[in-house]
Chain A
Amino acid sequence: MIDMIEKEDSIISEEEAAQYDRQIRLWGLDAQKRLRGSRVLLVGLRGLGAEVAKNLILAGVKGLTLLDHEQVTEESCRAQFLIPVSAQGQNRAQASLERAQYLNPMVAVKADTDRVEEKPDEFFLQFDAVCLTGCSRDLMIRVDQLCSQNNIKVFCGDVFGYHGYMFSDLGLEHNYVEEKPKAVKPKTEESNEHDGPEAKKPKVDPSETTMIKKVNVDFCCLKDALEVDWTSEKAKSSLKRTPVDYFLLHVLLKFRTDKGRDPNPESFAEDSTLLRQIRDDVLEAMTLSSELLPHDFVSYCFSEMAPVCAVVGGVLGQEVVKALSQRDAPHRNFFFFDGMKGSGVVDYFGPN
């Protein structure tokens, strides 16, 4: 993996300048150039995947590979805005390709129809960032381990009904810059009585800014983030400030591993029962009370809600942009969104 700092081509075309104008005015030309040199892998093209794809393509990455082995069903037509209604039976990545490419012809968008589990290690190494949606816990752990060893930024995310999360692993040492306004030093001068009304002082131009370079350490791997030990008293006392969604995530990932799919509204009754069972098992194994997840939690985690995909996809997309452009402090290391409450929380889980 090439050091990202010197990757970019130096010239930005007129076309890019015009199209990216409003975002260049926000994150600057350097950031845009880095994006322009970045290749991203996106796994999973359901609702959340489509949102992330849109956000990264609009941002202007160099290339985006859409990887999904599943087929388009009637449900996925309703769930996602890249797949045309006529595409039933086609591969999901393939079906999303055309509309994805139309979003921004300057990005090289590709579709890959293989199973992500069957991809060899080398496959992942061609990317600067990898984003996993709809993947099993084991796969995410494996890919995260492989990629972060090779300085590839890793992101995971899912939406379950009204709830959603994203996780990021930017490696042991992620560098970024921040832009701050130049500090205005207040001048104090006595006003001379004889000079009449106090004259205005010349000011420092308030629109001048300065870049501050920062170094960030300490993104842990997904395995460590998920395997936090809750048995200690200290851990238990921190529960009050811990987003409950962290535990919900464990339950839903276990469901996915056990059933090979996510909870389905068409089997609401059986899946609800199973979810509650898994909740009991998971929380017990963590030596925690199953009251942590209230009885009705099952009502709100079926299917992918489009607005929740939009929120999580927006935050996740922006984290990928930040990491690739190396600008602005990344969220560390989870973001949890509860669509019922409208609350979005950033929290760190991992070894202390």
Chain B
Amino acid sequence: MVQLVGSLRKELADSVSDCNVLVVGAGGIGCELLKNLVLTGFKNIEVIDLDTIDVSNLNRQFLFQKKHVGKSKAQVAKESVLQFCPTANIKAYHDSIMNPDYNVEFFRNFMLVMNALDNRAARNHVNRMCLAADIPLIESGTAGYLGQVTVIKKGLTECYECQPKPTQKTFPGCTIRNTPSEPIHCIVWAKYLFNQLFGEEDADQEVSPDTADPELSWNPADTEARATASDQDGDIKRVSTKDWARSTGYDSVKLFNKVLFKDDIQYLLTMDKLWKKRKAPLPLDWLELQKLGTILEVTGTGLKDQHVLGVAGYSQLFSRSVETLRSMLADKGDGAELVWDKDDPAAMDFVTAAANLRMHIFSMNMKSRFDIKSMAGNIIPAIATTNAVIAGLIVLEALKILSGDVEQCRTIFLNKQPNPRKKLLVPCALDPPSANCYVCASKPEVTVKLNVNKTLVLALQDKILKEKFGMVAPDVQIEDGKGTILISSEEGETEANNSKFLSDFGIRNGSRLQVDDFLQDYTLLVNVIHCEELEKDVEFEVVGDAPDKAPTPPSSQEEQKNFANGNKDSAEPSTSSNAPAEQDDVLIVDSDEEPSSSTMDVSTESGGLKRKLHDAETGEASAKRQRLDQATADDDDDIIALD
């Protein structure tokens, strides 16, 4: 006779109240998840989040109120939950999960880990920690109306990194600097400009015309020669944009005329090959613009931010914001830098103005501050209900795991509209681990193409091992028979190596590097292929990766299960210091077209993970596993990462 405690069988109810679980993130999904966990009877919960509460969180992170703005999310979430469940035993950490304190031992305390994150780096990291500790992980993400939940269990399912995820969209330098054709190009340019003038100058974020544009010359040798020439000249006129600007006292008229919107544009016009098939840009003159008069007032019933000013209005906004930023910079003292933050009014005004002026010059319709903020700040729209559904599904998966029914676990997609099989929530079988996974395979190995004479040790560490391969504190040994240590995770030990090239250490074509991240208990063997002919702007290539540029839209035939990861994955400088991560995560969007008949649901009567998927209704078996149709629809425009 079944004995129930509430809705649950007694044995399950007991497991639930006895076990320890970890919730990583206390934002949109996290708040809903904590509530569901305690109401289901979970008693021992630890929650971690590095972020503080912002007013824009309050439309969905319901454990927080206006009076809590600025406080720790994990802490306030705990206090709110205790209000309706005082017997819950909750530990809150205002900290980053990537802090080495949270080592494999820490993770082993838990029966189950549930992610409620919004960025890929943390997801990769938790993935590895859970593999190392052999603890089941429930992964999830939401964006707008869409959401997704899945379960990761070492040896049984794919890990988070088994399937390559599309990297954030980047744009070639010449598009940003010479031939923008979409508003986003102008917005990226404006953010680069911000950094050149007020922030950390970055060689990858040049704003001046690019004379090494491949389009200017058919002859690759020609382009190469020009590129070398401009490197030596320091790209057009100035060595340091910031120094030049400082020398003019950040005179906005000079900035406007001499540099940004007039002289540089006139220079671009001399590169006539670019304009044979494109509309040429029209330079702006400051004085002429002022004659048009100011239209800064906004009337009407819309949001102030949603109005589009005229070009004269944006030139005024440009001037005002430059002045404000100049004085902010001066206040910070010598050698100071500003970090761009979408919530800083002057920084946002600056990008709005600069981007719009450039859009106007290149014959694009200008955009409102509201829209520019979305694109520049990588804002992902979010609502309470999507998070509520996903967090409910997470707990249901958790119950299956605790019951010992992990083969019943599924990946579940939440769609905006039902598919032709009438499903709004679509469960799909979990995939087994990928044999070639560079994380969870037994002896993970990758091959990387790069130029050993031009790649710095620091770049290897930061751009390849940390950014691309998700390590937090890598240690690198060269397999040269001597066990030469190239990089040590101990601070200061190998700092002298950072500015040297790989070839300086004898690394050449065919060299192998053993890379360890001891925190993640992860060892990766890296095979080096020396290559002198990488694409422009590309520093390295992982062999076997899909091309890095725009993600390939999956066809109905492709299996792509994706957790795209929100704005924090852009390589650009982070926004606010406490938490650049803005929103809950994005996932793949349903195609606008009717999914093919390959859309599969999962019959739960037949168990096991590795089996032919059955269409429970029509009884057809599918020969190969097929996934729910998931083309990236145009909604992805919300999720633009800026390089």
Taking Cβ atoms with an 8 Å cutoff, the residues of A that contact B are 10-12, 17-27, 29, 47, 51, 54-55, 58-60, 77-85, 99, 102-105, 161-162, 181, 189, 195-197, 199-203, 205-208, 240-241, 243, 265, 268-269, 299-300, 302-311, 313-315, 317-318, 321, 328-329, 331, 335, 337, 339-347
Contacts and interface: CB of A to CB of B under 8 A. Distances in A.
B15 to A, nearest CB: 16
Given A99-B83, A195-B277, A341 B39 contact: no
Interface string B391-413: 11111110100000000001010
A85 B32 contact: no
B1 A25 contact: no
A346 B637 CA distance: 28
Contacts of B6: 78, 265, 302-303, 305
Nearest to A85: B86
Given A181-B634, A206-B634, A22 B59 contact: yes
B36 A307 contact: yes
A202 B601 contact: no
Contact of A342 (B83, B371, B393): B393
B125 to A, nearest CB: 26
A19 B183 contact: no
A342 B7 contact: no
Contacts of A77: 84
Nearest to B8: A305
Interface string B407-421: 000101010111000
A202 B276 CA distance: 12
A267 to B, nearest CB: 11
A314 B424 contact: no
A161 B7 contact: yes
B301 interface: yes
Interface in B173-232: 179, 181-184, 214-215, 217-218
B379 interface: yes
7 contacts: A55-B385, A59-B59, A205-B365, A206-B634, A306-B35, A344-B414, A344-B423
A325 B272 CA distance: 51
Contacts of B397: 342
A17 B380 CA distance: 16
B253 interface: no
Contact of A199 (B184, B274, B303, B391): B274
A243 to B, nearest CB: 8
Given A26-B145, A207-B183, 10 more contacts: A11-B301, A12-B301, A18-B55, A25-B381, A58-B59, A59-B383, A196-B218, A302-B7, A303-B6, A313-B388
B295 interface: no
Contact of A207 (B8, B181, B363, B637): B637
Given A22-B381, A84-B83, A201-B277, A304 B7 contact: yes
B388 A55 contact: yes
Contacts of A54: 62, 384, 388
B456 interface: no
Contacts of A309: 392
B23 to A, nearest CB: 14
B56 A205 contact: no
B360 to A, nearest CB: 13
B392 A310 contact: yes
Contacts of A341: 427, 602, 604
A18 B56 contact: yes
Interface in B129-148: 144-145
B393 A302 contact: no
B617 A240 contact: yes
B389 A306 contact: no
User: Chain B interface residue count: which class?
Assistant: 35 or more
B424 A59 contact: no
B60 A345 contact: no
A189 B382 CA distance: 41
Contacts of B418: 331, 345-346
Interface string B589-617: 00000000000011010000000000001
Contacts of B388: 51, 54-55, 310-311, 313-314, 317
B446 interface: no
Contact of B181 (A202, A269, A318): A202
Contacts of B32: 310
Contact of B60 (A22, A79, A195, A197): A22
A203 B214 contact: no
B395 A342 contact: no
A307 B392 contact: yes
A196 B399 CA distance: 62
B2 interface: yes
Contact of B601 (A47, A308, A318, A343): A343
Contacts of A47: 39
Contacts of A203: 181-182
B424 A23 contact: no
B342 to A, nearest CB: 11
A58 B62 contact: yes
A109 to B, nearest CB: 14
A345 to B, nearest CB: 5
B179 A200 contact: yes
Given A17-B303, A22-B382, A197-B215, A310 B273 contact: no
A343 B423 contact: yes
B278 interface: yes
Contacts of A99: 83-84
B374 interface: yes
A22 B379 CA distance: 8
Nearest to B54: A18
Contacts of B5: 265
B278 A307 contact: no
B109 interface: no
- What are the nearest 7 A-B pairs in CB distance? A344-B425, A310-B392, A26-B381, A306-B39, A199-B277, A314-B388, A314-B389
A19 B56 contact: yes
Contacts of B414: 344
B583 interface: yes
B392 A103 contact: no
B422 interface: yes
Contacts of B352: none
B637 A206 contact: yes
B364 interface: yes
Nearest to B58: A19
Nearest to A200: B181
B65 interface: yes
A78 B39 contact: yes
A315 B424 contact: yes
Nearest to A313: B388
B399 to A, nearest CB: 8
B4 interface: yes
Nearest to A54: B62
A313 B425 CA distance: 14
A196 B7 contact: no
A206 B365 CA distance: 12
Contacts of A26: 144-145, 381-383
B84 A82 contact: yes
Contacts of A20: 59
B544 interface: no
Nearest to B583: A22
Contacts of B215: 196-197, 199
B511 interface: no
A182 to B, nearest CB: 9
Contacts of B277: 189, 195, 199-201
Contacts of B583: 22
Interface in B609-639: 617, 634, 637-638
